C-alpha cells in the first residue's frame, strides 16, 4: 500500500511540474527589426497595419493580454483581419533598444505596450495597456475598440470622411 501511495504521489508531483511550465510568447533571441520589416511588407500588400505587442515572458499582464486576445474569438479575429502582429521582446536578455528608439520609446508606458504602424512603418498610435484594464484583467470592449478604431480600414474611412 505504501508503494502505491508513494507512486501516486510521485506521479502527481511529476505532472504538477510539467503543468506549471512558464508560458513563453516572447522570444528574446528574435530579431525584432527583421520581424517588423517582414510584417510591414505583408501589411502593406494586404492593406493592414502592424501591431507591435511589446513585453516579456516575465510580465504577467503581457501574458494576460496574449491569452485574452487568442482565447476570445472576436478579439482574435479583429487582430488577424486588421493587423500583422509582431511580439517584441523586452527583457534582461534583449531590450530591443534600437527598435524601440525608432518608435519613440514606448516602454515609458510600462508593459505590455502596443504600437501600431501603418504599412510604411510610420507610428500612428502608442497604447498604454493600463488604460485597457478592467479589474484583474483587460476589458474585452476596450481591447476591441482599440483594434477596431486604429485599423487601416477605420483610418481610411476617417480620412475620406474629412476630405
What percentage of residues in the chain have a pLDDT greater than 70?
Answer: 87
Mean pLDDT of 38-43: 98
Closest CA to 48 of 87, 86, 83: 83
Q: What is the pLDDT of residue 49?
A: 98
| CATH class in words for 23-161 | alpha beta
Query: pLDDT tier at 22 (50, 70, 90 boundaries)?
Result: confident
d(CA 119, CA 108): 24
Q: What is the pLDDT of residue 2?
A: 58
Domain range summary for the chain, segments of one domain joined by +:
23-161
Are 53 and 112 contacting, i.e. CB atoms less than 8 angstroms apart?
Answer: yes
Mean pLDDT of 110-127: 97
Q: What is the pLDDT of residues 46-61, one digit of tens each?
A: 999 999 999 999 999 9
| Average pLDDT of the chain to the nearest whole number | 92
Q: What is the pLDDT of residue 47?
A: 97
Amino acid at each position: 500500500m505504501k508503494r502505491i501511495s508513494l507512486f501516486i504521489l510521485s506521479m502527481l508531483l511529476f505532472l504538477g511540474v510539467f503543468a506549471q511550465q512558464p508560458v513563453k510568447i516572447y522570444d528574446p533571441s528574435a530579431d525584432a527589426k527583421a520581424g517588423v520589416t517582414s510584417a510591414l511588407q505583408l501589411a502593406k500588400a494586404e492593406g493592414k497595419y502592424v501591431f507591435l505587442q511589446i513585453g516579456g515572458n516575465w510580465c504577467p499582464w503581457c501574458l494576460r493580454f496574449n491569452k485574452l486576445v487568442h482565447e476570445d474569438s472576436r478579439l482574435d479575429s479583429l487582430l488577424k483581419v486588421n493587423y500583422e502582429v509582431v511580439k517584441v521582446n523586452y527583457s534582461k536578455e534583449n531590450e530591443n533598444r534600437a527598435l524601440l528608439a525608432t518608435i519613440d520609446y514606448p516602454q515609458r508606458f510600462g508593459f505590455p505596450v502596443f504600437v501600431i504602424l501603418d504599412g510604411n512603418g510610420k507610428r500612428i498610435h502608442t497604447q498604454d495597456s493600463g488604460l485597457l484594464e478592467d479589474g484583474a484583467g483587460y476589458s474585452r470592449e476596450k481591447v476591441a475598440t482599440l483594434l477596431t478604431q486604429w485599423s487601416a480600414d477605420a483610418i481610411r474611412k476617417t480620412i475620406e470622411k474629412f476630405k
